Structure 1
């Protein structure tokens, strides 16, 4: 047997396990069987983030089922065409990031299986994981999606019935980032840098979630979060600085908070508070939290000390007086960590 044949067999087995079947159909064959036009098919592939495979067999029956779902949705008219492809694009971008994250996380497990002799090579270890772990992870993924969808629907309903309110709402936006990250990253190897970023993201996410907020996105050395309650957002930022930023393995953290009308769209948030929070985080000193006037006015002066700093130019906002915030010395409240 050719030495490359076992590896090719493992590659095919891995693809079959992940994709749920053989890939023997071309793009045209899938579209024909699924009942979707070439125009809509091209839009679907692009929305999902996949290139045209031409005449090469790259699809299977699971792809046909997906095409049938889109074709039926277009035919029934329950959702308009623009909405269908916007939702498909959101799905493609989200799943692409999830897949990269999952593979990056599983690399260490694959290497561990090989080192421990539980698998003869990386491909064999990957096949073992696909056989044993993927079915359970797929169910967990669907569960998490349903729970987040229910939570999003609840948030939407709470905004009220007015159309304008469904598109925007008042909330506090926070940016937190690692101080001197660029110089630090130049001193670390790839494994150490990856571990640092993962530790920062996971610890900050835990703090945000514990105080009723949501992480919108993480950008390596920074994290963007929102919270409908200015006080909870402030406590979140202060806790990041005091617990996460003071952790021995992480650099100091600096944070900026701004409160106001924010537009939520395509899994992201937009509006002046987002930009202002980012600007404030960039001018904050290490282990400090800077807030805007609207956030400060919503805080209890008996609980928090808010001290205006000298005005400074912030791009897009002119001269702004940032406000440094801290918990008043000696203040005790059972609500502080709630």
Structure 2
């Protein structure tokens, strides 16, 4: 039952049918991984919880997509949805396995490069939609979904183009990392320029970028560098990129970029945070 709870499924009352042979197989595979030493009790909880959260969001999105396709085909009930699902899900399952294996290979290559290090230096950036709360009140549900999806898609394209990784989407913000601070700086600046293009639907944004040691765990990132990037974003003015001292030191001699030292400021957890405004050189 503990694994069931960690996966995010509702509690099953005693005597209520809730499990199938597939659940038994899953428990058997889990026991096998524990016997091999791959999963310890603490790792098991963290991994299962991450699976539950990730697949719950993916399942919600896929079900909404299948429902839209069903309606477009003239269907309007659960049986019609199941008919479409039987046709589509085997293909989706194969594609998910393919994408997972590609990401697994990429992650293994990256992690083995820094094997043995508890924390590694990298650039962390946040990009935040300006005035999201006020704007969301004036949009329909469909318009709000379009805004967020266009924002996330554009961010992902720019981050990947500059050799970075999107760590997670936070509704009105995106958290990303890059191994090189120069790449992270160009991501932030390019997204600001995208917002300024009148032909693009990309919303007005602001960004914060920090450089320093970062701890990676279960696809997420932790540590003071992440916190500082978040704080910088919170104090950045619209259409502005702020970086910390670590990033500024690394970017000082980069051609095409310009740094302006700003007044120290007090934010949560940091009494005298030193921000720098980052711009392209004229």
TM-score using structure 1 length? 0.77
In 1, are the aligned partners of 2:248 and 2:259 still within 8 Å (CA)?
yes
SS of the equivalent of 2:18 reads coil
CA RMSD, aligned part only? Answer: 1.8
Structure 2 SS opposite 1:133: helix
Provide the C-alpha distance between the structure 2 equivalents of 1:43 and 1:202, rounded to a whole number of angstroms. Answer: 36
Shift of 1:258: 0.3
Q: Kindly report which structure 2 residues correspond to 1:171-186, keeping only aligned pairs within 5 A, or say none.
A: 171-186=122-137
Q: Tell me the matched-pair count.
A: 279
Partner of 2:175, secondary structure, is strand
The alpha-carbon distance between structure 1 residues 129 and 324, as it changes in their structure 2 partners (threshold 3 A), is same
Q: CA separation of 1:64/1:244 partners in 2, compared to 1, >3 Å: closer, same or farther?
A: farther
Question: 1:248 offset after TM fit, Å?
Answer: 4.2
TM-score normalized by structure 2?
0.92
Counting only pairs closer than 5 Å after superposition, residues 145-184 of structure 1 correspond to structure 2 as: 145-160=100-115, 162=116, 165=117, 167-184=118-135
Correspondence for 1:297: 249
- Alpha-carbon distance in 2 for matches of 1:223, 1:272: 18
Give the CA deviation at 1:60: 2.3
- Which digits, 9 at most, give the CA deviation of each residue in 1:200-225, with x for residues without a partner? 11110111111111111111100100
2:30 is equivalent to residue 63 of structure 1: no
CA distance in 1, matches of 2:274, 2:146: 36
Which of 47, 67, 73 is matched with 2:6 structurally? 47
- 1:128 and 2:83 correspond: yes
Matched residue, 1:83: 43
- Offset at 1:313? 1.8
8 Å contact 1:290–1:322 — kept in the other structure? yes
1:279 aligns with 231
- Structure 2: runs of 5 or more not aligned: none
Residues 230-239 or 292-301, more deviating: 292-301
| 2:212–2:225 CA contact under 8 A, matched in 1 | yes
Aligned to 2:54: 94
**Structure 1 residues 326, 151: CA separation in 2 closer, same or farther (over 3 Å shift)?**
same
Task: Specify the SS of the correspondent of 2:33.
Answer: helix
The answer to whether the 8 Å contact 1:170/1:259 transfers is: yes
Q: Which has the larger displacement, 277-286 or 169-178?
A: 277-286
Counterpart residue number, 2:142: 191
Alpha-carbon separation, structure 2, partners of 1:262 and 1:181: 28
Aligned residue for 1:298, secondary structure, equals helix
Q: Which residue of structure 2 aligns with residue 308 of structure 1?
A: 261
Highest relative contact order (Cα 8 Å, sep 6+), 1 or 2? 2
For residue 292 of structure 1, report the CA deviation from its aligned partner: 1.0
Kept after mapping to 2: 8 A contact 1:113/1:125: no
Report Cα offsets for 1:3-51 as digits up to 9, x if no partner.
Answer: xxxxxxxxxxxxxxxxxxxxxxxxxxxxxxxxxxxxxxx2221221223
Change (3 A) 1:199 1:125: farther
Larger radius of gyration: 1
Unaligned runs of 5+ in 1: 1-41, 330-338
Kept in 2, the 8 Å contact 1:262–1:269? The answer is yes
- Counterpart in 2 of 1:233? 184
1:266 aligns with 2:215: no
Matched, 1:256 2:215: no
Deviation at 1:78? 4.9
1:140 Cα offset (Å): 0.7
Alignment partners' CA distance in 2, 1:76 and 1:279: 42
Q: What residue is the counterpart of 1:12 in the other structure? A: none
Which deviates more from structure 2 when the two are superposed, residues 241-250 or residues 276-285? Answer: 241-250
